Structure 1
Amino acid sequence: MKQLIRLSLFVVLGIGLWAFSRADQLFDLAKNLDIYASVIKELNQFYVDPIDPNKVVKNSIDGMLDQLDPYTVYYPEEDLDEFNTLTTGKYEGIGIRASWVDKGYYITYVDEDSPALQAGLQIGDQLLSINGVKITEDSDPGQLIKGPKDSKLTAEILRGEEKHSLTVQRSTVQIKNVGYSGIIRPGIGYIELEEFNQSATKEMKAALLQLKKDGMKQLILDLRNNPGGLLTQAVDICNLFLDKETPIVSTRGKLKEWNATYKALNPSWDNSLPMVVLINQNSASAAEIVAGVLQDYDRATIVGQRSFGKGLVQVTRDLPYRAKIKITTAKYYIPSGRCIQAIDYSENKDTVKQEFKTRKGRKVNAGGGIEPDVLVGRPQANSLIQQLLKERIFFQYARLYKLKQAKIAPAANFHLNDTEYEAFVQWVKASKFHYESPLEKQMRDVLKETSKDILYANLTKELDRLKPEWDSSVARELQGNKKVIEGLLEQEIVHHYYYKKGINEWSFEHDPTLLKSLELIKN
Structure 2
Amino acid sequence: MKRIRKFSIIIFILLAIPFVAFKYDDRYFEIAKNLDIFATMFKELNAYYVDEINPNKAMRLSIESMLKQLDPYTNFFPEDDIEDYMTMATGKYNGIGATVSHQNNKHLVVMIYEGSPADKAGMKIGDEILKVDGVDVVSRKGIDMGRLMKGQTGTTVKMQIKRYGQNSPIDLTVGRDIVKTLNVPHSGMVNDEVGYIQLNDFTATAAKEVKSAFSELKAAGMKKLIFDLRGNPGGLLNMSVEICNVFLPKDQLIVETRGKVADWNKKFMSMENPMDTEIPIVVLVNSSSASAAEIVSGTLQDYDRAVVIGQRSFGKGLVQTTRDLTYNTKMKITTAKYYIPSGRCIQALDYSHRNPDGSVGKVPDSLKTAFKTKNGRTVYDGGGVDPDIKTEVPAMASVTANLLAKNVIFDYATKYYFEHANEKPQEKFTLKDSDYQDFTNWLKTRDFTYSTSMEKSLDNLEASAKKENSLDAVQENLKSLRDKISQSKQQDLIKNKADIKEQLEAEILSRYYYQKAMKFVSFERDKEVQEALKLFKDMPKYHSILKGGK
Q: Give the TM-score taking structure 2 as reference length.
A: 0.86
Which residue is equivalent to 2:68?
Answer: 66
**Partner of residue 9, structure 2:** none
Identify the residue that residue 184 of structure 1 maps to in structure 2: 190
2:157 is aligned with what amino acid? Answer: L
Aligned identity (percent) is 45
Output the CA distance in 2 between the equivalents of 1:323 and 1:454.
Answer: 60
Query: Helix, strand or coil: the match of 2:211?
Result: helix
- Identify the residue that residue 354 of structure 1 maps to in structure 2: 369
2:429–2:522 Cα contact (<8 Å) kept: no
* Pairing partner for 2:148 from 144, 149, 152: 144
Alignment of 1:35-74 (within 5 A): 35-74=37-76
2:209 aligned with 1:207: no
Corresponding residue for residue 256 of structure 2:
250
Is the 8 Å Cα contact of residues 188 and 519 (structure 2) preserved in structure 1? no
Q: Distance in 2 between matches of 1:466 and 1:340?
A: 47
Residue 386 (structure 1) aligns with: 401
Per-residue CA deviations over 1:256-311 (Å, capped at 9, x if unaligned) read 33211111111212111221111111111001100000011010111122111100
Name the residue aligned to 1:15. Answer: none
Larger mean Cα displacement after TM superposition, 41-50 or 352-361? 352-361
Separation in 1, partners of 2:23, 2:373: 42
Whether the 8 Å contact between 2:100 and 2:109 is mirrored in structure 1 is yes
Deviation, structure 1 residue 111: 0.9
Query: What is the rounded CA distance, in whole Å, between the counterparts of 1:22 and 1:267 in structure 2?
Result: 53
Question: Does the 8 Å CA contact 1:379/1:484 hold for their aligned counterparts?
Answer: no
Question: What residue in structure 2 maps to residue 8 of structure 1?
Answer: none
Unaligned stretches of 5+ residues in structure 2: 1-21, 355-359, 540-550
Q: Offset of 1:21 from its aligned partner? A: 13
Structure-1 residue corresponding to 2:86 = 84
Query: Which range moved further: 41-50 or 492-501?
Result: 492-501
Matched, 1:515 2:530: yes
Equivalent position of 2:420 in the other structure: 405
Alignment of 1:447-486 (within 5 A): 447-450=462-465, 457-471=472-486, 474-486=489-501
**CA positional deviation for 1:347:** 9.2
1:390 partner amino acid = A
Distance 2:504 2:332 in 1: 39
Q: Distance in 2 between matches of 1:514 and 1:479?
A: 26
Q: Could you state the TM-score of these two structures normalised by the residue count of structure 1?
A: 0.90
1:12 aligns to what?
A: none
SS of match in other structure, 1:459: helix
Secondary structure of 2:503's counterpart equals: helix
* Superposed CA RMSD: 2.5
**Residue aligned with 1:30, SS:** helix
Range 308-317 or range 166-175, more displaced: 166-175
Q: CA 1:383–1:509 in structure 2 vs 1: closer, same or farther (change >3 Å)?
A: closer
**SS of the counterpart of 2:185?**
strand
Write the letter of the residue equivalent to 1:37: A
1:276 maps to 282
Report if aligned partners of 2:429, 2:520 keep a CA contact under 8 Å in 1: no
Between 1:344-353 and 1:64-73, the stretch displaced more is: 344-353
Are residue 443 (structure 1) and residue 466 (structure 2) matched? no
Does the 8 A contact of 2:257 with 2:337 survive in 1?
Answer: yes
Match in the other structure for 2:546: none
How far off its partner does 1:403 sit? 2.7
Distance 1:38 1:263, change over 3 A: same
Counterpart of 2:328? 322
Amino acid aligned to 1:332: Y
Aligned residues, how many?
A: 505
- Secondary structure at 1:116 match in 2: helix
SS of equivalent to 1:520: helix
Task: Output one character per residue of 1:317-340: Cα deviation in whole Å (capped at 9) or x when no partner.
Answer: 111222111111111111111111
2:428/2:522 contact within 8 Å kept: no
Residue correspondence of structure 1 range 77-156 to structure 2 within 5 A: 77-136=79-138, 137-138=140-141, 139-156=143-160
Give 2:33's aligned residue: 31
**How many Å apart are 1:145 and its aligned residue?**
0.9
Instruction: Name the CA distance, whole Å, in 1 between partners of 2:77 and 2:457.
Output: 45
